[in-house]
Copies of this chain bind each other. A is one copy, B any other.
Amino acid sequence: MTFAVEVVVVLKPVVNDPQGLVVRDGLHRLGFPEVRAVRVGKHLELEIEGDDEASVRAQVEAMCERLLRNTVIEDSRIGSISVLSGSAM
């Protein structure tokens, strides 16, 4: 089966986010003073072959540790897992 997996990678709360500050200031200048804070992270959409959701989830968690996130400054979470196509046979 093919699964679609969403992974969100965000800076840890204690890590400064200069990109977010720039976006916030830009929004203030464009007439959105109600914006208090912005933090910018990454959103990854993966298409993965797998047998079941549990094994796919475990694989994606391993990918996060190996490549997708910088474990020193970033947290990651799996947003959603859905079946794209295929049967269990």
Residues of A near any B CB (own CB < 8 A):
2, 8-10, 20, 23, 26-27, 30, 32, 34-50, 59, 62-63, 66-68
Report which of B30, B40, B46 forms a contact with A67, defined as CB distance below 8 A.
B30
A selection of 24 A-B contacts at a CB cut-off of 8 Å is A2-B36, A8-B43, A23-B44, A23-B68, A27-B63, A30-B63, A32-B62, A34-B49, A34-B59, A35-B47, A35-B48, A36-B48, A36-B49, A37-B45, A37-B47, A38-B44, A39-B45, A40-B42, A40-B44, A41-B42, A41-B43, A42-B42, A42-B43, A43-B43
Cβ-defined contact, B34 with A67, below 8 A = no
Tell me the minimal C-beta distance from A75 to chain B in angstroms.
12
